[in-house]
């Protein structure tokens, strides 16, 4: 198994949001800010059924990218920018509770989630969610965040191992 | 979102993200500097190694903002996504947007965003249901479903007038706890049944369906909109509540006299036809009056009659302030609903009046409620300790100011709606306390 570069892991762990870009059947791109989580092997995100178009698009075309570029949302020192391309799959066997395994990672970044969960009855559809599991294929990293410079490119596919 | 509107907002974002599709079919996103020049963006060329983007009709430029709140999470979320064509020049790259999409939680609150997304949630769950051959929907325990469907927290609207009627009855003579319990059960069941039928008919008329700014105080329980209960389950629930209400009412009639029958039937009919066709009282600007009558004189006098076996004038006078304040709960709660109500033909007073008139109407009704207490005690109709209810005047002033200030902001006005419920409850409690204090201390009330 190819290892994600440690600097990128730090970035993923620190990032409050990342931009997930998906592509629909007609090759049109759609980008949404989501909270990225790293489980040591996959980038994980979660999406409510309310905002599930991205899930439909991923099911039709799993090729996605996750962009970490905002020094405010990704507070690491020294700063760097990264884009990770990968193959996504939607885990929605049980939209009521499959995603709850992400709660420790999610609440670490957004502590208010545990409080909001107590009022789950008030906004029930928001808490019916799917997990987006992204297997990284390639990472482009710009040390210092300067994207005019040549990036370090890491092939993370299984074939490269 | 229109492209021109989006372009005017870009100055708020420190950088852009250029996204193209690489030769392997993956999106390739990279941050860059940008300048808006007319209807195009000039981008600083970026370096993506050996997989550089070329001229394309299918590019995106995305802008994203978030404000971290350590220990809590974040706020001030905003993003704009522009889709268009990218032209690679020697010194600059030019992006021409054709389509824009975005969200700013300052202009579209998150709760409203969620409500607007309901059709997509239903679509996705329908799709999952078809894939699996079994229904996929939101799950919630029956306790919470019933809590939501009946809107149980609004029961204070019933407990106050019933308590007031019982207190007045206790002031005038012997008191039966058994009858008081049965009265309370019947009134609660009637109220819950009315709440449920209100949801059923507001869903059928489309008023709750098109309401994208419901709050915890307005816009219905949403259990039908969220797919937590079906229409038939709601109907069965309403039927059960009405059965308990009617059963309790008939038992009380048997105990206390047929004089209660007319009042009970009037209460149930007013409640049912509040939203139900053909009367649809609330659609005709009569909903506020119906609620005032039902949760004011009808409940107060009904509770009084059960204990005493006759009606009297002074409990009727006593019911006027709580009738006014319960009407004002509905009236203020109609403020965030008014756009959806108007579209559904539900022409409440708030829909009919201008914002200024709505606020003046609130202040006038609240003043009339307090004026009734003052005049009633001055005339010797109400016991003097009920004057304690005037202590809530500052809260009424705060609510008036709050609904005036936040009239057009559904989520900001919520605090005032909550205060408004507290106003009804606290004024009612002080009236009940005033009557019970007069009874306890043996102060006599001139015969009314």
With CA atoms as reference, report the closest residue to A155 among A10, A4, A39, A17.
A4
Local structure of residue B218 (DSSP, 8 states) = B
pLDDT at residue B445, rounded to an integer = 56
pLDDT at residue B220, rounded to an integer = 87
Burial of B54 (0-12, 13-18, 19+ CB in 10 A): exposed
Q: Ramachandran region of residue B181, left (φ > 0), alpha (ψ -120 to 50) or beta?
A: alpha
What kind and span of H or E run contains B370?
A: helix B355-378
With CA atoms as reference, report the closest residue to A24 among B61, B60, B51.
B60
CB contact, 8 Å: B57 with chain A? no
CB contact, 8 Å: A1 with chain B? no
The distance in angstroms from the start CA to the end CA of chain A is: 6
Contact yes or no for A148 and B45 at CB 8 A:
yes
- Per-residue pLDDT at B443 exceeds 80: no
CB atoms within 10 A of CB B109: 15
Q: From CA A49, how far away is CA A106, in angstroms rounded?
A: 17
Query: Residues near B244 by Cβ (< 8 Å), separated by ≥ 6?
Result: B185, B186, B189
Query: Residues near B283 by Cβ (< 8 Å), separated by ≥ 6?
Result: B205, B275, B345, B346, B347
Query: pLDDT digit string (tens) for B124-169?
Result: 999 999 999 999 999 999 999 999 999 998 999 999 999 999 999 9
CB atoms within 10 A of CB B397: 12
Please answer whether residues B213 and B325 qualify as being in contact, where contact means their C-beta atoms are separated by less than 8 angstroms. no
Q: What is the Cα Rg of chain A in Å?
A: 16
pLDDT at residue B148, rounded to an integer = 92
Query: pLDDT digit string (tens) for B348-393?
Result: 999 999 999 999 999 999 999 999 999 999 999 999 999 999 999 9
pLDDT at residue A122, rounded to an integer = 85
Q: From CA B151, how far away is CA B400, in angstroms rounded?
A: 25
- Closest-CA distance, B99 to chain A, in angstroms, reads 11
| Concatenated DSSP letters of A102-152 | GHHHHHHH-THHHHHHTTGGGSGGGG-EEEEEEEEEEEEEEETT-TTSPPE
Interface A-B: count of C-beta contacts within 8 A? 172
Place of tokens 């059923």: B200
Please answer whether residues B209 and B200 qualify as being in contact, where contact means their C-beta atoms are separated by less than 8 angstroms. no
Q: From CA A92, how far away is CA A130, in angstroms rounded?
A: 5
Q: From CA B301, how far away is CA B185, in angstroms rounded?
A: 16
Local structure of residue A61 (DSSP, 8 states) = -
Please answer whether residues B333 and B401 qualify as being in contact, where contact means their C-beta atoms are separated by less than 8 angstroms. no
Average per-residue pLDDT for chain B: 93
Q: From CA A56, how far away is CA A66, in angstroms rounded?
A: 17
- Closest-CA distance, A149 to chain B, in angstroms, reads 6
With CA atoms as reference, report the closest residue to B178 among B307, B308, B312.
B307
With CA atoms as reference, report the closest residue to B187 among B257, B254, B268.
B268
Phi, psi torsion values for B32, nearest 5 degrees: -155, 165
Query: pLDDT digit string (tens) for B54-99?
Result: 899 999 999 999 888 888 888 889 999 999 999 998 888 999 999 9
Out of B15, B49, B114, the one facing A50 most closely (by C-beta) is B114
Q: pLDDT tens digits, chain A, 161 residues: what are they?
A: 568 999 999 999 999 999 999 999 899 999 999 999 999 999 999 999 999 999 999 999 999 999 999 998 888 889 999 999 999 999 999 999 999 999 999 999 998 898 888 888 888 999 999 999 999 999 999 999 999 999 999 999 865 55
Rounded mean pLDDT of B297-323? 97
| Concatenated DSSP letters of B215-259 | BTTBS---TTTTTSS-HHHHHHHHHHHHHHHHHHHHHHHHHH-TH
Out of A67, A72, A113, the one facing B68 most closely (by C-beta) is A72
With CA atoms as reference, report the closest residue to B287 among B339, B331, B242.
B331
Please report how many Cα atoms fall inside a 13 Å half-sphere around the Cα of residue B441, on the Cβ side. 10
With CA atoms as reference, report the closest residue to A85 among A69, A68, A63.
A63
CB atoms within 10 A of CB B432: 24
Structure tokens at B109: 């609150």
- Closest-CA distance, A28 to chain B, in angstroms, reads 7
- What ranges in B384-447 are assigned the alpha helix state H? 393-405, 414-440
Chain B CB contacts of A33 under 8 Å are 64, 66, 77, 79
- What ranges in B62-117 are assigned the alpha helix state H? 110-116
Report CA-CA distances (Å) from B207 to A109, B198, B215, B291: 38, 11, 14, 18
Please report how many Cα atoms fall inside a 13 Å half-sphere around the Cα of residue B5, on the Cβ side. 11
ipTM of the complex: 0.94
- Per-residue pLDDT at B250 exceeds 90: yes
Structure tokens at B32: 């860059």
Measured in whole angstroms, the distance separating CA B324 from the mean position of its chain's CA atoms is 19
Instruction: Please report the residues numbered 247 through 286 in chain B whose beta carbons come closer than 8 angstroms to any beta carbon of chain A.
Output: none
pLDDT at residue A69, rounded to an integer = 94
Please answer whether residues B124 and A49 qualify as being in contact, where contact means their C-beta atoms are separated by less than 8 angstroms. yes
CB atoms within 10 A of CB A39: 12
Chain A CB contacts of B123 under 8 Å are 52
Query: Which of A15-24, B96-105, B212-221 has the least mean pLDDT?
Result: B212-221
Out of A86, A111, A151, the one facing B49 most closely (by C-beta) is A151
- Closest-CA distance, B270 to chain A, in angstroms, reads 29
Q: From CA B201, how far away is CA B194, in angstroms rounded?
A: 11
Query: Residues near B167 by Cβ (< 8 Å), separated by ≥ 6?
Result: B432, B435, B436, B439
Contact yes or no for B58 and A27 at CB 8 A:
yes
Contact yes or no for B29 and A19 at CB 8 A:
yes
Contact yes or no for B138 and A51 at CB 8 A:
no
What kind and span of H or E run contains A34?
A: strand A29-34
Specify the pTM: 0.85
Structure tokens at A130: 């799917």
- Per-residue pLDDT at B109 exceeds 80: yes
Torsion angle in degrees (nearest 10) through CA of B146, B149, B154, B156: -30
Q: What is the Cα Rg of chain B in Å?
A: 29
Contact yes or no for A56 and B138 at CB 8 A:
no
CB contact, 8 Å: A67 with chain B? yes
What kind and span of H or E run contains A85?
A: strand A80-91
Evaluate the omega torsion of the peptide bond into residue A55 and state whether it is cis, within 30 degrees of 0.
Answer: no
């Amino acid at each position: 198994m190819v290892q994600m570069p440690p600097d990128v892991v730090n970035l993923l762990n620190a990032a409050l949001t990342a931009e997930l870009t998906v592509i629909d059947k007609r090759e049109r791109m759609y980008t949404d800010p989501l909270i990225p989580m790293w489980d040591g092997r996959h980038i994980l995100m979660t999406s409510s059924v309310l905002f599930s178009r991205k899930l439909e698009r991923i099911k039709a075309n799993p090729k996605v990218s996750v962009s970490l570029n905002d020094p405010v949302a990704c507070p690491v020192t020294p700063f760097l920018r990264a884009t990770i391309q990968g193959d996504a799959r939607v885990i929605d066997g049980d939209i009521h509770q499959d995603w709850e395994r992400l709660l420790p990672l999610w609440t670490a970044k957004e502590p208010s989630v545990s409080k909001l969960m107590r009022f789950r009855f008030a906004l029930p559809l928001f808490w019916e969610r799917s997990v987006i599991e992204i297997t990284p294929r390639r990472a482009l990293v710009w040390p210092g965040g300067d994207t005019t410079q040549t990036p370090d490119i890491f092939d993370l596919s299984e074939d490269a191992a | 979102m229109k492209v021109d509107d989006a372009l005017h907002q870009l100055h708020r974002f420190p950088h852009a993200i250029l996204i193209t599709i690489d030769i392997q079919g993956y999106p390739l996103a990279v941050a860059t500097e940008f300048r808006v020049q007319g209807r195009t963006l000039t981008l600083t060329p970026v370096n993506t190694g050996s997989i550089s983007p070329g001229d394309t009709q299918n590019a995106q430029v995305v802008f994203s903002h978030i404000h971290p709140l350590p220990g809590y999470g974040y706020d001030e979320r905003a993003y704009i996504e522009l889709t268009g064509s990218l032209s690679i020049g020697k010194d600059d790259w030019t992006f021409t947007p054709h389509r824009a999409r975005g969200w700013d939680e300052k202009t579209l609150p998150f709760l409203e965003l969620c409500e607007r997304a309901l059709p997509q949630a239903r679509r996705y769950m329908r799709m999952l249901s078809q894939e699996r051959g079994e229904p996929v929907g939101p799950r919630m325990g029956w306790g919470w479903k019933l809590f939501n469907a009946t809107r149980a927290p609004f029961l204070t609207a019933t407990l106050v007038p019933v308590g007031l009627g019982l207190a007045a009855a206790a002031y005038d003579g012997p008191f039966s706890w058994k009858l008081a319990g049965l009265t309370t059960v019947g009134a609660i069941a009637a109220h819950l049944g009315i709440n449920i039928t209100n949801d059923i008919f507001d869903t059928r008329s489309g008023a709750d369906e098109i309401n994208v700014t419901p709050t915890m105080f307005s816009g219905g329980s949403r259990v039908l909109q969220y797919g937590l209960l079906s229409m038939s389950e709601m109907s069965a629930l309403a039927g059960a509540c009405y059965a308990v209400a009617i059963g309790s009412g008939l038992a009380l009639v048997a105990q206390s006299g047929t004089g209660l029958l007319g009042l009970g039937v009037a209460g149930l009919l007013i409640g049912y036809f509040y939203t139900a066709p053909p009367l649809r009282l609330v659609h005709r600007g009569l909903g506020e009056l119906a609620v005032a009558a039902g949760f004011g004189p009808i409940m107060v006098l009904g509770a009084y009659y059960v204990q005493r076996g006759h009606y009297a004038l002074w409990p009727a006078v006593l019911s006027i302030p709580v009738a006014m304040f319960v009407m004002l709960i509905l009236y203020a709660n109609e403020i965030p609903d008014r756009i959806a109500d108007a579209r559904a033909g539900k022409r409440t007073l708030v829909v009919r009046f201008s914002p200024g008139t709505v606020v003046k109407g609130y202040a006038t009704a609240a003043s009339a409620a307090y004026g009734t207490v003052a005049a009633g005690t001055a005339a010797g109709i109400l016991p003097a300790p009920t004057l304690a209810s005037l202590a809530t005047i500052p809260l009424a002033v705060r609510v008036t100011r709050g609904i005036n200030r936040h009239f057009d902001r559904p989520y900001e006005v919520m605090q005032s709606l909550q205060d408004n419920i507290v106003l009804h409850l606290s004024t009612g409690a002080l009236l009940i306390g005033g009557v019970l204090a007069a009874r306890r201390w043996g102060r006599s009330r001139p015969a009314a």
